[in-house]
Protein backbone atom coordinates (compact mmCIF):
# COMPACT_ATOMS: atom_id res chain seq x y z
CA UNK A 1 0.00 0.00 0.00
CA UNK A 2 1.52 3.21 -1.16
CA UNK A 3 -0.16 6.16 0.49
CA UNK A 4 2.65 8.60 0.47
CA UNK A 5 2.84 12.30 -0.01
CA UNK A 6 3.32 12.79 -3.74
CA UNK A 7 5.60 15.73 -3.11
CA UNK A 8 8.35 13.35 -2.04
CA UNK A 9 7.95 10.77 -4.80
CA UNK A 10 10.19 10.78 -7.80
CA UNK A 11 9.87 13.89 -9.94
CA UNK A 12 6.96 13.88 -12.37
CA UNK A 13 5.85 10.39 -11.33
CA UNK A 14 2.76 11.71 -9.63
CA UNK A 15 1.72 14.27 -12.24
CA UNK A 16 -1.89 13.59 -13.20
CA UNK A 17 -2.49 16.55 -15.49
CA UNK A 18 0.17 15.87 -18.09
CA UNK A 19 -2.33 15.09 -20.86
CA UNK A 20 0.26 15.72 -23.53
CA UNK A 21 2.40 12.97 -22.13
CA UNK A 22 1.76 10.00 -24.40
CA UNK A 23 4.95 8.19 -23.58
CA UNK A 24 4.52 5.41 -20.96
CA UNK A 25 7.72 6.48 -19.31
CA UNK A 26 8.09 9.72 -17.43
CA UNK A 27 9.79 12.70 -18.97
CA UNK A 28 12.93 11.89 -17.09
CA UNK A 29 13.02 8.42 -18.60
CA UNK A 30 12.15 6.48 -15.45
CA UNK A 31 9.53 3.74 -15.84
CA UNK A 32 6.06 4.81 -14.73
CA UNK A 33 5.16 2.24 -12.15
CA UNK A 34 3.26 2.46 -8.92
CA UNK A 35 5.79 0.86 -6.65
CA UNK A 36 8.08 3.79 -6.25
CA UNK A 37 10.60 3.35 -3.50
CA UNK A 38 10.10 6.21 -1.13
CA UNK A 39 13.18 7.36 0.67
CA UNK A 40 12.78 8.70 4.12
CA UNK A 41 13.69 12.36 4.07
CA UNK A 42 17.18 12.65 5.51
CA UNK A 43 16.68 15.32 8.09
CA UNK A 44 19.60 15.52 10.47
CA UNK A 45 18.88 17.20 13.75
CA UNK A 46 21.17 20.09 14.53
CA UNK A 47 23.92 18.82 16.82
CA UNK A 48 23.40 19.76 20.43
CA UNK A 49 26.32 21.09 22.44
CA UNK A 50 27.17 18.39 24.96
CA UNK A 51 30.93 18.47 25.40
CA UNK A 52 33.84 20.85 25.58
CA UNK A 53 37.63 20.53 25.57
CA UNK A 54 39.27 21.19 28.94
CA UNK A 55 42.71 22.60 29.73
CA UNK A 56 44.26 19.12 29.52
CA UNK A 57 42.65 18.74 26.08
CA UNK A 58 40.32 16.01 27.24
CA UNK A 59 36.71 15.90 26.06
CA UNK A 60 34.42 16.49 29.02
CA UNK A 61 30.63 16.65 29.26
CA UNK A 62 28.95 19.98 29.91
CA UNK A 63 26.80 18.47 32.65
CA UNK A 64 26.41 15.33 34.72
CA UNK A 65 23.60 13.87 32.63
CA UNK A 66 25.99 13.28 29.72
CA UNK A 67 28.35 10.30 29.53
CA UNK A 68 31.97 11.03 30.33
CA UNK A 69 33.08 7.62 29.07
CA UNK A 70 33.86 8.83 25.59
CA UNK A 71 36.87 9.28 23.36
CA UNK A 72 37.55 11.69 20.51
CA UNK A 73 39.13 10.25 17.37
CA UNK A 74 41.38 12.51 15.30
CA UNK A 75 43.52 11.99 12.20
CA UNK A 76 46.16 14.56 11.31
CA UNK A 77 48.29 15.59 8.35
CA UNK A 78 46.06 14.59 5.42
CA UNK A 79 44.41 14.31 3.09
CA UNK A 80 47.11 12.30 1.32
CA UNK A 81 45.94 9.18 -0.51
CA UNK A 82 42.67 7.73 -1.72
CA UNK A 83 43.36 4.24 -0.40
CA UNK A 84 44.12 5.42 3.11
CA UNK A 85 41.14 7.79 3.20
CA UNK A 86 38.86 4.97 2.01
CA UNK A 87 40.21 2.68 4.71
CA UNK A 88 39.69 5.23 7.47
CA UNK A 89 36.22 6.24 6.28
CA UNK A 90 35.04 2.64 5.85
CA UNK A 91 36.22 1.62 9.29
CA UNK A 92 34.69 4.70 10.92
CA UNK A 93 31.40 3.90 9.17
CA UNK A 94 31.53 0.29 10.36
CA UNK A 95 31.78 1.54 13.93
CA UNK A 96 29.33 4.41 13.38
CA UNK A 97 32.07 6.70 14.59
CA UNK A 98 32.81 10.32 13.77
CA UNK A 99 36.29 11.80 13.81
CA UNK A 100 38.07 15.07 13.16
CA UNK A 101 40.45 15.08 10.21
CA UNK A 102 42.97 17.84 10.93
CA UNK A 103 44.14 18.82 7.46
CA UNK A 104 46.98 20.85 6.05
CA UNK A 105 46.22 23.48 3.43
CA UNK A 106 48.89 22.35 0.99
CA UNK A 107 47.44 18.84 1.06
CA UNK A 108 43.90 20.11 0.53
CA UNK A 109 45.14 22.11 -2.44
CA UNK A 110 46.67 18.95 -3.92
CA UNK A 111 43.75 16.65 -3.03
CA UNK A 112 40.50 18.62 -2.91
CA UNK A 113 38.46 15.55 -3.87
CA UNK A 114 39.71 13.67 -0.83
CA UNK A 115 38.60 16.51 1.42
CA UNK A 116 35.17 16.42 -0.21
CA UNK A 117 34.92 12.68 0.46
CA UNK A 118 35.76 13.17 4.13
CA UNK A 119 33.05 15.78 4.40
CA UNK A 120 30.46 14.04 2.22
CA UNK A 121 30.72 10.89 4.32
CA UNK A 122 29.88 12.81 7.44
CA UNK A 123 33.30 13.23 8.99
CA UNK A 124 34.53 16.53 10.42
CA UNK A 125 37.30 18.67 8.96
CA UNK A 126 39.68 20.51 11.29
CA UNK A 127 42.43 23.07 10.64
CA UNK A 128 46.05 21.92 11.08
CA UNK A 129 47.67 24.98 9.42
CA UNK A 130 48.76 25.35 5.82
CA UNK A 131 52.35 24.10 5.82
CA UNK A 132 52.69 22.02 8.97
CA UNK A 133 55.41 24.25 10.36
CA UNK A 134 56.10 25.19 13.97
CA UNK A 135 53.81 28.22 14.30
CA UNK A 136 55.45 29.30 17.56
CA UNK A 137 58.52 30.24 15.54
CA UNK A 138 56.59 32.35 13.02
CA UNK A 139 55.81 36.02 13.38
CA UNK A 140 52.22 36.93 14.11
CA UNK A 141 51.25 37.74 10.53
CA UNK A 142 52.64 34.50 9.16
CA UNK A 143 51.03 32.43 11.89
CA UNK A 144 47.68 34.07 11.19
CA UNK A 145 48.02 33.42 7.47
CA UNK A 146 48.88 29.76 8.12
CA UNK A 147 45.59 29.39 9.96
CA UNK A 148 43.29 31.62 7.95
CA UNK A 149 44.34 30.34 4.53
CA UNK A 150 43.17 26.89 5.62
CA UNK A 151 39.83 28.31 6.75
CA UNK A 152 39.48 29.75 3.25
CA UNK A 153 40.46 26.72 1.19
CA UNK A 154 38.32 24.38 3.27
CA UNK A 155 35.30 26.64 2.86
CA UNK A 156 35.97 26.93 -0.88
CA UNK A 157 36.16 23.12 -1.11
CA UNK A 158 33.34 21.86 1.13
CA UNK A 159 31.27 24.97 1.77
CA UNK A 160 31.98 25.34 5.46
CA UNK A 161 34.84 26.52 7.65
CA UNK A 162 36.52 24.31 10.24
CA UNK A 163 35.48 24.72 13.88
CA UNK A 164 38.52 23.01 15.35
CA UNK A 165 42.22 23.87 15.28
CA UNK A 166 45.24 21.80 16.27
CA UNK A 167 48.71 23.32 15.85
CA UNK A 168 51.40 21.15 14.24
CA UNK A 169 53.54 19.42 16.88
CA UNK A 170 51.09 20.74 19.48
CA UNK A 171 53.30 23.82 19.45
CA UNK A 172 51.53 27.06 20.23
CA UNK A 173 51.53 30.24 22.29
CA UNK A 174 49.18 32.98 23.45
CA UNK A 175 49.18 34.59 20.03
CA UNK A 176 48.10 31.37 18.37
CA UNK A 177 45.28 30.93 20.87
CA UNK A 178 44.17 34.46 19.99
CA UNK A 179 44.28 33.72 16.25
CA UNK A 180 42.19 30.61 16.77
CA UNK A 181 39.72 32.53 18.89
CA UNK A 182 39.44 35.29 16.28
CA UNK A 183 38.45 32.61 13.76
CA UNK A 184 35.90 30.94 16.01
CA UNK A 185 38.15 27.89 16.30
CA UNK A 186 38.24 25.55 19.27
CA UNK A 187 41.92 24.98 20.06
CA UNK A 188 43.25 21.59 21.08
CA UNK A 189 46.35 19.47 21.09
CA UNK A 190 45.64 15.93 22.39
CA UNK A 191 45.62 13.80 25.53
CA UNK A 192 46.26 10.33 24.12
CA UNK A 193 49.01 10.12 21.53
CA UNK A 194 48.99 6.91 19.52
CA UNK A 195 52.68 7.48 18.74
CA UNK A 196 51.88 6.24 15.24
CA UNK A 197 54.34 8.86 13.97
CA UNK A 198 57.20 7.37 15.98
CA UNK A 199 59.69 5.10 14.22
CA UNK A 200 58.92 2.39 16.78
CA UNK A 201 55.39 2.16 15.36
CA UNK A 202 56.28 2.09 11.70
CA UNK A 203 54.53 -0.83 9.98
CA UNK A 204 53.38 -2.05 13.40
CA UNK A 205 49.60 -1.69 13.82
CA UNK A 206 49.73 -3.69 17.07
CA UNK A 207 52.06 -1.12 18.63
CA UNK A 208 49.68 1.71 17.68
CA UNK A 209 46.77 -0.16 19.27
CA UNK A 210 48.75 -0.88 22.45
CA UNK A 211 49.91 2.72 22.78
CA UNK A 212 46.33 4.01 22.70
CA UNK A 213 44.95 1.31 25.00
CA UNK A 214 47.72 1.91 27.56
CA UNK A 215 46.64 5.56 27.85
CA UNK A 216 42.89 5.12 27.52
CA UNK A 217 40.89 7.27 29.94
CA UNK A 218 37.63 9.17 30.05
CA UNK A 219 37.66 11.90 27.46
CA UNK A 220 40.78 10.67 25.66
CA UNK A 221 41.56 12.98 22.78
CA UNK A 222 43.29 10.42 20.57
CA UNK A 223 45.90 11.67 18.13
CA UNK A 224 46.44 9.52 15.06
CA UNK A 225 47.66 10.21 11.54
CA UNK A 226 46.86 9.23 8.00
CA UNK A 227 49.47 6.47 7.91
CA UNK A 228 49.20 2.94 6.49
CA UNK A 229 49.75 1.12 9.80
CA UNK A 230 47.16 3.32 11.49
CA UNK A 231 44.64 2.55 8.77
CA UNK A 232 45.41 -1.11 9.33
CA UNK A 233 45.11 -0.80 13.12
CA UNK A 234 41.88 1.16 13.22
CA UNK A 235 39.21 -1.54 13.09
CA UNK A 236 40.73 -3.58 15.91
CA UNK A 237 41.52 -0.44 17.91
CA UNK A 238 37.93 0.82 17.74
CA UNK A 239 36.62 -2.62 18.68
CA UNK A 240 38.89 -2.73 21.73
CA UNK A 241 37.85 0.76 22.79
CA UNK A 242 34.19 -0.23 22.49
CA UNK A 243 34.80 -3.41 24.48
CA UNK A 244 36.09 -1.23 27.33
CA UNK A 245 32.74 0.53 27.38
CA UNK A 246 33.69 3.79 25.69
CA UNK A 247 31.75 5.46 22.91
CA UNK A 248 33.00 7.82 20.24
CA UNK A 249 32.07 11.42 20.74
CA UNK A 250 30.54 13.17 17.75
CA UNK A 251 32.76 16.23 17.25
CA UNK A 252 29.71 18.23 16.23
CA UNK A 253 28.54 18.03 19.84
CA UNK A 254 31.73 19.75 21.03
CA UNK A 255 31.54 23.50 21.57
CA UNK A 256 33.26 26.22 23.57
CA UNK A 257 33.35 25.60 27.30
CA UNK A 258 30.03 26.68 28.85
ZN1 LIG B 1 50.56 17.13 12.29
Choice among 77, 149, 196, 225 that is catalytic: 225
Tell me which H or E stretch contains 20: none
Rg of the chain in Å (alpha carbons): 22
Q: Is the pLDDT of residue 156 over 80?
A: yes
Nearest to 172, CA basis, from 188, 183, 161, 184:
188
How close is the Cα of 158 to the center of ligand 1, in Å?
21
| Torsion, CA 235, CA 251, CA 192, CA 114, rounded to 10 | 60
Residue 33 pLDDT = 46
Tell me the CA–centroid distance for residue 20 and ligand 1, in Å: 62
- Taking only the tens place, the pLDDT of each residue in 47-95 is 899 999 999 999 999 999 999 999 999 999 999 999 999 999 999 999 9
| Least confident residue range of 25-34, 207-216, 247-256 | 25-34
79 upstream amide cis, omega within 30 of 0:
yes
Residue 9 CA to ligand 1 centre (angstroms): 46
CA of 49 to the centre of ligand 1 (A): 27
Task: For residue 95, report the distance from its CA to the centre of ligand 1, in Å.
Answer: 24
User: Is 76 tagged catalytic?
Assistant: yes
- Please give the domain boundaries of the chain with CATH numbers for all domains: 67-255 (3.20.20.370)
Q: What three-state secondary structure class fits 127?
A: strand
Amino acid sequence: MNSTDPSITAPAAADSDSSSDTDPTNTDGTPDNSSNVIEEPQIEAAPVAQYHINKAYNVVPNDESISKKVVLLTFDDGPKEQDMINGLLDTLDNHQAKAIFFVNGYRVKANPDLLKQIHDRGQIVGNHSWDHIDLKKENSDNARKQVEDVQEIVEDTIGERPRFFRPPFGSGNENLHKIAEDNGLIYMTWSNGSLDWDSKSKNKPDVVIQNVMDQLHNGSNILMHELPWTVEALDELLTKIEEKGYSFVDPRTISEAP
